[in-house]
Amino acid sequence: MSDQFDVIIIGGGPGGYNAAIRAGQLGLKSACIDKRGAFGGTCLNVGCIPSKALLYTSELYEEARDKLPKLGIKTTTELDLAGMMAHKTKVVGELTKGVEFLLKKNKSEAIVGVARIASPGKVEVKLNDGSTRTLETKHIVTATGSEVAPLSDVTIDEERIVSSTGALSLKTVPKRLLVVGAGYIGLELGSVWRRLGSEVTVVEFLDRVTPGLDGEVAKQFQRLLARQGMKFQLSTKVVGVEKKSEALSVTLEPAAGGAQSALETDILLVAIGRRPYTDGLGLVEAGVTLDKRGRVVTDAHYRTNVEGIWAIGDCREGAMLAHKAEDEAVACIENIAGRSGHVNYDAIPAVVYTHPEVASVGKTEEELKSVGTAYKIGKFPFTANARAKTIASTEGFAKVLADAKADRVLGVHIIGAEAGNLIQEAAFAIEIGAASEDIARTSHAHPTLTEALRQSAMGVEGWAMQM
Ligand code: FAD
Ligand code: NAI
């Protein structure tokens, strides 16, 4: 096997494997290196995919138990946690194998091992058998992703004090689960275990959940999760955890300081964010600049300050989302191939896959206010949407923010059933620079949930019809 490549991609996650696919399509000879042993990165192995499998099955379980009897379907429901986990493992296995197939199809050599940049143009890989292979290349793409951000003085053992990885594989349903961090992971995995029977308490440092998402949506989101039984302690921090034989004793303190309190739990999930992962990569030695959060600094074309070294995905700035990594992969490889790839960051959707789902794209009201952009709002509740009624899922609303003068869509925020699918129309609208009137005047099939988005777009000009 030749050790000479056009491009070597370090990391086989959504950033890395999509870079390898695009490289193959553009006729570049590539290798994709991952130390994990199964390609697909965090997303396929311990992130997006296993969490969505558990979110789906736990939602079905709760619906079968609590919702179906209200809709005229009698059921007896019994949890088979091992069976649920088996479904998750099967899906992960199939998808990671699928990535290997795609790498092969696109003539990218898949290498399992730990990669280190020896110098620009040279990558050393420590293979599983202990040997080292030295590869030469014109370009190196760093796609090494991210890792769990630690909580000071709390050691994750992945059994009782877990990160998302441990929380995806608990062997029994904990009676009590304490989640630190009311972000994506805390609320998604907190929902999974609450549905399966845990008493879930979420401790959040800030005075709101899901920072970064539209404030009005976040408020409604917290209210709905609380109604489902999730407890919240906002403006609170965890300052210590003591492992006792029967339980964990967690010491809490108001975020602003003050009297401490104690709470007992069986499992503690640390979900306070993720940080870029570039350990042992040799980036700094090669002269590549990292920012103070450890992220690889690049220009808008994904070039670092060192000629021939590029970076994409979670290890550089921006939202830590699989599709953001994928979009950057395509743009970066196109730039390497002499084309002009770019990513429109205003059109990258974000989805929290709870029930109801929360989805957003573009600017929030808070962001528009902070830069003084004049905007109009259209809003429509799912209680007034016929399809939402038929599926007995009427919680939430859709909100369209449009430029006050030009009517261009600036942001769309949806909380409701299927929000993650509904948001895609809004992402497309922003991508093509559409006006809210374009959404309002586009025919939407009846009865669908998409009509809620259309009605909220109509609401921008005050002519929502079904309220
Ligand atoms: P990664 O997927 O992290 O891949 C990087 C790979 O590089 C890893 O496999 C690592 O082993 C490898 N690597 C690192 N260093 C080296 C080295 N020196 N040598 C060889 N290999 C190396 N995002 C979404 O968009 N939707 C979701 O629903 C979603 N759910 C998530 C759920 C959870 C629980 C978590 C933790 C994350 C979730 N994410 C989700 C985020 C998503 O997983 C990441 O944004 C995405 O995986 C980033 O892709 P990446 O290619 O940049 O990095
Ligand atoms: P997050 O950034 O979404 O949320 C972390 C939360 O923890 C924030 O609300 C933050 O204020 C809080 N926090 C920080 N320090 C704290 C402390 N000491 N005590 C209490 N609270 C504290 O991070 P999370 O949930 O860990 O997820 C990491 C990333 O993974 C996400 O930002 C997202 O990019 C990605 N992800 C995406 C998903 C999706 O797309 N559906 C699902 C899961 C993860």
What is the spatial distance between Cα 127 and Cα 23, in angstroms, rounded to a whole number? 23
Say which ligand is closest to the CA of 316.
Answer: 1
Residue range 332-374, pLDDT digits in tens: 999 999 999 999 999 999 999 999 999 999 999 999 999 999 9
Average pLDDT of the segment spanning 302-310: 98
pLDDT value at 301 more than 80: yes
Instruction: List the catalytic residues.
Output: 446
* Residue 294 CB neighbour total at 10 angstroms: 13
Structure tokens at 115: 């990669």
Residue range 413-440, pLDDT digits in tens: 999 999 999 999 999 999 999 999 999 9
pLDDT score, position 88: 98
Quick one: how far is CA 391 from the chain centroid?
A: 27
DSSP assignment, residue 434? -
- Residue 467 — pLDDT band, cuts 50, 70, 90? confident
In angstroms, what is the span from residue 8 Cα to ligand 1's centroid?
Answer: 18
pLDDT score, position 136: 98
Which residue minimizes the CA distance to atom 47 of ligand 1?
A: 43
Residue range 164-183, pLDDT digits in tens: 999 999 999 999 999 999 99
Average pLDDT of the segment spanning 184-206: 98
Which residue minimizes the CA distance to atom 6 of ligand 1?
A: 11
Structure tokens at 37: 């042993």
In angstroms, what is the span from residue 460 Cα to ligand 1's centroid?
Answer: 38
Residues within 6 Å of ligand 2 by CB: 151, 180-186, 188, 203-206, 211, 237-238, 271-274, 319-321, 351-353
pLDDT value at 259 more than 80: yes
- Residue 285 — pLDDT band, cuts 50, 70, 90? very high
**Hunting for tokens 């196109």 — which residue is that?**
334
Beta bridge partners of 8: 31, 140
Tell me the pLDDT of the chain averaged across its residues: 98
- Residue 460 — pLDDT band, cuts 50, 70, 90? very high
pLDDT score, position 1: 64
In angstroms, what is the span from residue 262 Cα to ligand 2's centroid?
Answer: 23
- Residue 393 — pLDDT band, cuts 50, 70, 90? very high
Which of these, 242, 237, 81, lies nearest to 161 by C-alpha position?
242
Which of these, 83, 77, 47, lies nearest to 61 by C-alpha position?
77
* Domains of the chain in sequence order: 4-148+275-343 (3.50.50.60), 161-272 (3.50.50.60), 347-460 (3.30.390.30)
In angstroms, what is the span from residue 378 Cα to ligand 1's centroid?
Answer: 36
Average pLDDT of the segment spanning 88-107: 98
Residue range 136-146, pLDDT digits in tens: 999 999 999 99
- Residue 2 — pLDDT band, cuts 50, 70, 90? confident
pLDDT value at 263 more than 90: yes
Residue 380 near residue 459 (C-beta atoms within 8 A): yes
What SS3 string covers 166-213? HHCCCCCCCCEEEEECCCHHHHHHHHHHHHHCCEEEEECCCCCCCCCC
Beta bridge partners of 380: 398
Residue 39 near residue 103 (C-beta atoms within 8 A): yes
Average pLDDT of the segment spanning 234-244: 97
Please report, rounded to a whole number, the percentage of residues in the chain having pLDDT higher than 70: 100
> What is the side-by-side strand order in the sheet with 357-362?
350-352, 357-362, 409-416, 397-403, 375-381
The ligand 2 atom nearest the CA atom of 182:
9
* pTM summary value: 0.98
Beta bridge partners of 142: 10, 311
Residue range 104-131, pLDDT digits in tens: 999 999 999 999 999 999 999 999 899 9
The ligand 1 atom nearest the CA atom of 16:
51
- What single letter denotes the amino acid at residue 228? Q
**Hunting for tokens 């921008």 — which residue is that?**
460
Which residue minimizes the CA distance to atom 43 of ligand 1?
A: 43
